[in-house]
């Protein structure tokens, strides 16, 4: 709900200003959470009633267990900050994942309870995760190295490994949801008709936009074309653009090679 509120106010959609007088009282922990959200996102709220609205939302979680309230507030702030950190560190739009926040929040919330009880969650796949997703693991670890004292957290590598899995999973899911059209060129040494046949086969199997079908003598034209990939039927160096050689009349094995080529290009985005 905090993310929904944040999305609304950053878009300039405010509640009725008449609600400004309906102040909600906060305990120290709830007040700390509201202040942390406003400070972290550098919010300059044009309508004071928005503070009361968020305060009312927090107050609706009425619980006699002050530890539970503290855990809930800290978990929310940590999750928002961690996802924001990961986006900046890896240059990847993690906030587009509809499930990432929930996964990370549940783990952080449980992690805080384990930390209070001095219990560490053993991760049997820690070494594998560190080797398979080194950039993600390192980014999560750096977050807690920098902000651990601020959030009163010092998770072990076992715990960091679990969090790294959530972000790595989100990367895969977001990439799979992307609809990406590749702009390609075809370079052929067997005549334009054969080049167009290869282009047609690629269009049949993949989401591509064939910008040009060129001969070897026209390679200089590539520098002026907005293409991201090149397919060729002859061994010739293509500078500045990833390229793959296929048979003039592509076989099923060629189509598989092209699919792997596209997958590699998408993963590099």
Same-domain status, 202 and 230:
yes
144 and 107 part of one domain = yes
Between residues 125 and 6, the one the model is more confident about: 125
Same domain, 33 and 100: no
In this structure, the answer to whether residues 107 and 171 fall within a common structural domain is yes
How does 59-76 read in b/e, with b if 16+ C-beta sit within 10 Å?
eeeeeeeeeebbbbbbbb
The confidence band for 63, taking pLDDT boundaries of 50, 70 and 90, is very low
Count of domains observed in the chain? 3
The CATH number of the domain holding residue 239 is 3.40.50.2300
Domain enclosing residue 108, as ranges: 66-176
| pLDDT reading at 142 higher than 60 | yes
Domain boundary residue, one of 176, 202, 233: 176
- The string over 225-234, giving b where at least 16 C-beta atoms fall within 10 Å of a residue's C-beta and e elsewhere, is eebbbbbbbe
pLDDT band of 48, cuts 50, 70, 90: low
The reply to whether 162 and 219 lie within a common domain is no
| pLDDT tens per residue across span 196-239 | 888 988 988 888 889 999 988 888 888 889 998 999 988 888 88
Of the three residues 59, 83, 102, the one that is the final residue of a domain is 59
pLDDT beyond 90 at 85: yes
* CB burial of residue 84 (10 Å; 0-12, 13-18, 19+): middle
Q: Are 242 and 164 in the same domain? A: no
Regarding whether 95 and 24 lie in a shared domain, the answer is no
- 156 plus 75 within the same structural domain: yes
The residue-averaged pLDDT of 141-146 equals 96
pTM over 0.85: no
Backbone angles phi, psi at 141, to 5 degrees: -60, -40
Domain-ending residue, one of 131, 152, 176: 176
- Domain shared by 48 and 143, yes or no: no
CB contact at 8 A, 186 and 203 = no
Long-range contacts of 142-145 (CB under 8 A, 24+ apart): 142/89, 143/81, 143/82, 143/85, 143/86, 143/89
């Amino acid at each position: 709900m905090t993310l929904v509120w944040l999305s609304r106010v950053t878009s300039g959609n405010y509640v009725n200003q008449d609600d400004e007088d309906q102040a909600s009282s906060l305990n120290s922990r709830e007040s700390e959470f509201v202040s942390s959200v406003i400070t972290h996102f550098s919010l300059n709220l044009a309508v004071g009633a928005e503070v009361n609205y968020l305060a009312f939302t927090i107050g609706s979680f009425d619980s006699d267990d002050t530890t539970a309230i503290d855990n809930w507030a800290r978990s929310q702030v940590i999750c928002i900050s961690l996802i924001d950190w990961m986006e900046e560190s890896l240059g990847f739009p993690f906030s587009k994942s509809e499930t990432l926040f929930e996964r990370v929040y549940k783990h952080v919330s449980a992690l805080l309870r384990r930390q209070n009880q001095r219990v560490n969650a053993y991760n049997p796949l820690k070494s594998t995760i560190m080797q398979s997703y080194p950039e993600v693991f390192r980014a999560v670890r750096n977050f807690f190295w920098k902000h651990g004292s601020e959030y009163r957290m010092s998770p072990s590598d076992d715990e960091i490994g679990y969090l790294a899995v959530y972000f790595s999973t989100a990367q895969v899911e977001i990439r799979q949801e992307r609809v990406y059209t590749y702009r390609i060129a075809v370079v052929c040494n067997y005549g334009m008709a054969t080049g167009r046949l290869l282009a047609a086969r690629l269009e049949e199997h993949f989401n591509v936009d064939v910008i040009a079908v060129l001969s070897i003598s026209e390679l200089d034209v590539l520098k002026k074309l907005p293409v991201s990939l090149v397919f060729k039927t002859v061994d010739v160096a293509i500078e500045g653009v990833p390229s793959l050689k296929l048979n003039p009349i592509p076989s099923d094995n060629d189509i598989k090679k092209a699919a792997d080529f596209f997958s590699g290009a998408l993963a590099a985005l």
